[in-house]
């Protein structure tokens, strides 16, 4: 029962994420497009907007890299944490892979054997937190932008270098991660924790930034890389920063690069009869 | 907007980086595995005037569901032979290396298609056939009939390269940021 309900919600969340971009991102994208002045960049945006219309009207994935999958779950106190939740998510993802369909992207890291259904050892990643409602958020992550993500263990005296590291990440990446990007920046925590912070920063609404995020975003945009590396005023739609306390001897920084197909969707699990 | 039809001829040599084109006609997808197979076993289609699309599409039955471009730079060192066989255009995203720019000289162009725009591409494509299907969905060579895909000339046949111009300016700007 629980496993089936979770599977249904997970499949629905994946489907929604693959076909429609979240409203906060669309608002931020429209704002970026309205301010662009370069002709080549404007033509790229025409393709992007037409693509979103086609994905919607044909009910097909926005991008053929339908991603490797990450799920964030909030669990209310009355639902016990059990294997059913993990299994249900796997069931839902397998069904989505067959039915939407999704490209099977999950392979063994060394033999490169493809599981064929987007699941495999340690994937999809599932992060479970306590919450008031039982929700599943699907975050399909494309390989092109994930490959450009970086992590650095800076010295505690190097807070000024954070900006340079973020900008350098996009300088190295150029057009490869499908800009205009959203950057999730983790600052602090530990070696493993900072990568998680960078990923979780991408869950935050992207249509507003604080002063520091705006400063990082402006610095990245000054590079002029533009959509797809073809030049333009905007390389970055938004930077989102998430911080965590770190060791007094450490300053970990991670940048998770997200392409313009900034997918995420949340679906509530039907809990009737479960609670 | 220039209208191009495959098989492509010398008309591609007059295109300049930054030009916008519509491409129609038969095209062939090829990624890493397909290139390696073609180097070993030969090109399974007629390469004269062909356009090769760096793409691993999502196919369901006989329908193209999604067909956006993949990162072309991965193929920098394994694509040159195709130009010698008569291929006139590569289509992909992110641009290619200096060796490819040199190989394109007097022969062909690199056409940029907007990364992620898989649904728009699929809406203008019909599936005609497949080679090397054993390589799997993403790596097989799919034969596609295409109707006016909107593209930008990223690298032309006379050394013009938008990407390297943009990269150079970005590197200069990065130096300035670090000295601010």
Residue among B132, B122, B148, B134 nearest B62 (CA): B122
Distance (Å) from the C-alpha of residue A86 to the closest C-alpha of chain B? 27
Residues above pLDDT 90, as percent of chain A: 97
Percentage helix, strand, coil for chain B under 3-state DSSP, each rounded to 5: 30, 30, 35
**What's the confidence (pLDDT) of residue A64?**
87
Q: Cα–Cα distance between B73 and B92 in angstroms, integer?
A: 9
Sort out which chain B residues have CB atoms less than 8 A from A102's CB and list them.
58
Task: Pick the residue of B97, B114, B175 with the most A CBs within 10 A to test the interface with A by mutation.
Answer: B114
Chain B hits for A142, Cβ within 8 Å: 116
Active site amino acids of B: 35
pLDDT in tens, B131-150: 999 999 889 999 999 999 99
- Which of B136, B138, B162 minimises the CB distance to A231? B162
pLDDT tens track for A210-220: 999 999 999 99
Chain A CB contacts of B149 below 8 Å: none
Res A118 pLDDT > 90: yes
CA distance readout (Å), B138 to A42, B29, B80, B178: 30, 9, 21, 41
In the predicted model, is pLDDT for residue B180 greater than 80? no
With 0.90 as the threshold, say if the pTM is over it. yes
**Strand residue runs (E) in chain A:** 68-75, 125-130, 135-141, 150-154, 181-188, 236-244, 251-258, 265-268
On the question of pLDDT at B67 being above 80, the answer is yes
Q: Do B122 and A54 touch (CB under 8 A)?
A: yes
Give the pLDDT of residue B52.
98
Residues on chain A touching B58 (C-beta within 8 angstroms): 61, 64, 66, 101-103
Mutation pick from B110, B119, B165, B168 vs chain A, by most beta carbons of A within 10 Å, is B119
Over residues B75-121, the pLDDT tens digits come to 999 999 999 999 999 999 999 999 999 999 999 999 999 999 999 99
**pLDDT for position B179:** 83
| B104 min Cα distance to partner chain A (Å) | 19
Q: How far apart are CA B17 and CA B78, in angstroms?
A: 23
DSSP SS3 for B179: helix
How many C-beta atoms surround the C-beta of residue A24 within 10 A? 16
- Cβ–Cβ gap A104/B119 under 8 Å: no
């Amino acid at each position: 029962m629980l496993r089936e309900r979770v599977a249904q919600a997970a499949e629905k969340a994946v489907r929604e994420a693959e076909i429609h971009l979240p409203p906060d991102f669309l608002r931020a994208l429209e704002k970026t497009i309205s301010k662009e002045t370069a002709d080549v960049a404007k033509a790229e945006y025409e393709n992007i907007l037409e693509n979103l219309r086609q994905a919607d009207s044909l009910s097909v994935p926005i991008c053929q890299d339908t991603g490797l999958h990450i799920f964030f779950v909030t669990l209310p106190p009355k639902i016990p944490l059990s294997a059913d939740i993990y299994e249900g998510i796997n069931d839902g993802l397998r069904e989505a892979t067959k039915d939407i369909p999704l490209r099977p992207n999950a392979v063994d890291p060394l033999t490169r054997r493809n599981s064929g259904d987007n699941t495999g050892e340690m994937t999809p990643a599932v992060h479970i937190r306590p919450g008031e409602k039982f929700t599943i958020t699907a975050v399909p992550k494309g390989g092109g932008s994930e490959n450009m993500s970086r992590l650095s263990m800076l010295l505690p005296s190097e807070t000024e270098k954070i900006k340079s590291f973020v900008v350098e990440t996009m300088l190295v990446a150029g057009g490869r991660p499908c800009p205009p990007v959203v950057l999730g920046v983790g600052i602090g925590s530990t070696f493993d924790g900072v990568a998680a912070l960078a990923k979780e920063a991408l869950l935050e609404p992207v249509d507003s930034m604080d002063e520091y995020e705006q400063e990082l975003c402006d610095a990245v945009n000054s590079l002029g890389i533009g959509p797809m590396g073809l030049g333009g005023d905007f390389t970055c739609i938004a930077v989102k920063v998430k911080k965590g306390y770190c060791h007094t001897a450490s300053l970990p920084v991670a940048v998770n690069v997200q392409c313009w197909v900034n997918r995420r969707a949340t679906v509530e699990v039907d809990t009737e009869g479960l609670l | 907007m220039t209208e191009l039809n495959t098989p492509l001829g010398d008309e591609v040599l007059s295109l300049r980086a930054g030009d916008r084109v519509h491409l129609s006609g038969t095209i062939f997808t090829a990624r890493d595995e397909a290139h390696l197979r073609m180097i070993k076993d030969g090109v399974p289609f007629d390469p004269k005037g062909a356009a090769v699309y760096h793409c691993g599409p999502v196919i369901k039955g006989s329908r193209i569901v999604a067909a956006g471009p993949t990162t072309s730079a991965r193929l920098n060192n394994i694509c040159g032979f195709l130009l010698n066989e008569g291929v006139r255009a590569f289509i992909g995203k992110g641009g290619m290396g200096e060796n490819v720019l040199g190989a394109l000289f007097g022969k062909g162009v690199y056409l940029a298609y907007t990364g992620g725009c898989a649904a728009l591409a699929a809406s203008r494509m019909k599936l005609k056939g497949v080679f090397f299907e054993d390589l799997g969905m993403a790596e097989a060579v799919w034969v596609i009939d295409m109707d006016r895909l909107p593209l930008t000339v990223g690298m032309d046949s006379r050394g013009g390269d938008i990407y390297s111009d943009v990269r150079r300016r970005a590197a200069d700007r990065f130096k300035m940021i670090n000295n601010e």
